[in-house]
């Protein structure tokens, strides 16, 4: 049975009320949708991109179809495009022995109460606020791991789609030297204060146009540089490191005030040619530990 007929049978069998949705389509993992439901009950094979309906030239950073495909569970989101609001459901399905994401799109613009013309657009502000909250690390206020991974994946896909994908894409990974020892010696409250001071130094040292800064977990931080050459990256990273390394922290130890400093190490890798975010992260991680090993050898000698 052809794919279009199998999709039509699936929708009928599952009892999905097609008239509720403005768009129903199958999406492949690479972002192309291959079969689209028509309101006469038939389905049509296509060769378009799932993000073209939003007027975009690349995959959305919050692509629920990709999440549904990868995690094998349903995902939902709101999308704002061309002054319209859409509710999107994506669920994984298997047809003809192949996995797809079934995407159900509903235009909900007219279901919201109109705003006062003198007020901001409440729905759009709410959508943006939900996206902002879900993308941030609640402790430091930096972007979180999921957001950086999505941005890195999207950046790699864009590089591979270019006719000359040789423009640099740099990823830096940081960690605090001997952070466990700091926690064990001065306590976790002091460790938290140091994490915040590092996050603040990263925010001071980088503007949004330089790159995306994220807390990756624990004492690990990352920066994704989009349009910055290596010399500029190294200059920014070294300035931030100097700022952090020269900060003095004070704490009570055995009822006596003591002052100490912490240092931070980083690795920087050009990751534009890597196929996956995981491979790019591994490359940056390797650069960090190569640098740490070199520093350790110097100290030992």
pLDDT score recorded for residue 154: 86
Tell me which of 244 and 51 has the higher pLDDT: 244
Residues in the chain: 301
DSSP secondary-structure letter at 143? B
Q: Would you say residue 47 has pLDDT above 90?
A: no
Q: List the Cα angle 29/224/248 in 5-degree steps.
A: 145
pLDDT score recorded for residue 6: 84
CB atoms within 10 A of CB 296: 10
**Are the folds of 3-131 and 140-300 the same?**
no
pLDDT score recorded for residue 281: 92
Question: pTM for the whole thing?
Answer: 0.60
DSSP secondary-structure letter at 226? S
Residue 216 phi/psi, 5° resolution?
Answer: -90, -15
Tell me which of 33 and 301 has the higher pLDDT: 33
Kindly state the helix (H) or strand (E) to which residue 33 belongs, with its residue range.
Answer: strand 32-37
Tell me which of 107 and 40 has the higher pLDDT: 107
Which CA distances in Å does 109 have to 39, 52, 87?
A: 20, 19, 9
CATH topology of domain 3-131: Beta-Lactamase (3.30.450)
Kindly report, residue by residue over 243-265, the tens digit of the pLDDT.
999 998 888 666 678 888 999 99
Q: Which residue has the tokens 């609640």?
A: 138
Q: Would you say residue 214 has pLDDT above 60?
A: yes
Distance, CA of 169 to CA of 230 (rounded, Å): 9
Instruction: Indicate the range of 101-115, 122-136, 266-280 predicted with least confidence.
Output: 122-136
Strand partners, 103: 25, 90
Nearest to 216 by CA among 131, 275, 278: 278
Q: Are the beta carbons of 85 and 92 closer than 8 angstroms?
A: no
Residue 301 banded pLDDT, cuts 50, 70, 90: very low
Residue 110 banded pLDDT, cuts 50, 70, 90: confident
For domain 140-300, the question of CATH label 2.60.120.10 is answered with no
* Tokens of residue 236, six digits: 């920014």
Q: Which residue has the tokens 């049975």?
A: 1
pLDDT score recorded for residue 300: 41
What is the full DSSP assignment across 80-142? EETTEEEEEEEEEEEETTEEEEEEEEEE-GGGSPPPPTTS--HHHHHHHHHHHHHTB-TTT-S
Kindly report, residue by residue over 171-183, the tens digit of the pLDDT.
999 999 999 998 9
Q: Are the beta carbons of 287 and 267 closer than 8 angstroms?
A: yes
Task: Tell me what the mean pLDDT of segment 118-124 comes to.
Answer: 56
Which CA distances in Å does 94 have to 8, 97, 101, 103?
A: 13, 6, 8, 13
Q: Would you say residue 298 has pLDDT above 80?
A: no
Contacts of 29 (CB under 8 A, 6+ apart): 66, 69, 99, 101
Tell me which of 22 and 200 has the higher pLDDT: 200
Task: Tell me what the mean pLDDT of segment 191-209 comes to.
Answer: 91
What residue segments make up the domains of the chain, in order of their start?
3-131, 140-300
Residues of the chain above pLDDT 90, percent = 26
Instruction: Indicate the range of 26-35, 105-114, 115-124 predicted with least confidence.
Output: 115-124
pLDDT score recorded for residue 299: 45
* Torsion sign across C-alpha atoms 185, 189, 190, 196: positive
Task: Tell me what the mean pLDDT of segment 90-117 comes to.
Answer: 79
Distance, CA of 171 to CA of 284 (rounded, Å): 6
pLDDT score recorded for residue 54: 76
């Amino acid at each position: 049975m052809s794919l279009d007929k199998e999709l039509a049978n699936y929708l009928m069998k599952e009892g999905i009320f097609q008239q509720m949705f403005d768009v129903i389509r199958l999406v492949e993992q690479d972002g192309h949708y291959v079969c689209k439901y028509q309101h006469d009950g038939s389905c049509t094979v296509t060769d378009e991109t799932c993000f073209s309906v939003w007027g975009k030239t690349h995959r959305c950073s919050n692509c629920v179809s990709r999440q549904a495909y990868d995690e094998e569970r349903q995902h939902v989101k709101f999308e704002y495009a061309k002054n319209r609001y859409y509710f999107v459901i994506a669920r994984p399905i298997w047809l003809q022995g192949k996995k797809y994401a079934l995407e159900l799109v509903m235009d909900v613009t007219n279901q919201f109460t109109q705003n006062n013309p003198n007020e901001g657009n409440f729905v759009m502000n709410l959508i943006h606020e939900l996206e902002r909250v879900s993308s941030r690390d609640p402790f430091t206020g930096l972007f979180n791991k999921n957001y950086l991974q999505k941005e890195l994946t999207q950046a790699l896909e864009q590089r591979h789609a270019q006719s000359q994908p040789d423009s640099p894409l740099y990823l830096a990974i940081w960690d605090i030297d001997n952070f466990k020892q700091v926690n064990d010696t001065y306590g976790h409250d002091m460790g938290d204060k140091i994490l915040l001071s590092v996050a603040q130094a990263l925010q001071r040292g980088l503007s949004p146009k330089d790159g995306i800064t994220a807390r990756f977990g624990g004492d690990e931080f990352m920066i994704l540089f989009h349009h910055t050459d290596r010399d500029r990256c190294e200059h920014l990273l070294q300035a931030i490191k100097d700022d952090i390394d020269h900060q003095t922290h004070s704490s009570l130890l055995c009822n006596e005030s003591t002052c100490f400093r912490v240092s931070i190490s980083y690795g920087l890798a050009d990751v534009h040619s890597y196929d996956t975010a995981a491979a790019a992260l591994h490359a940056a991680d390797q650069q960090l530990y190569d640098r740490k090993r070199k520093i350790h050898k110097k100290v030992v000698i």
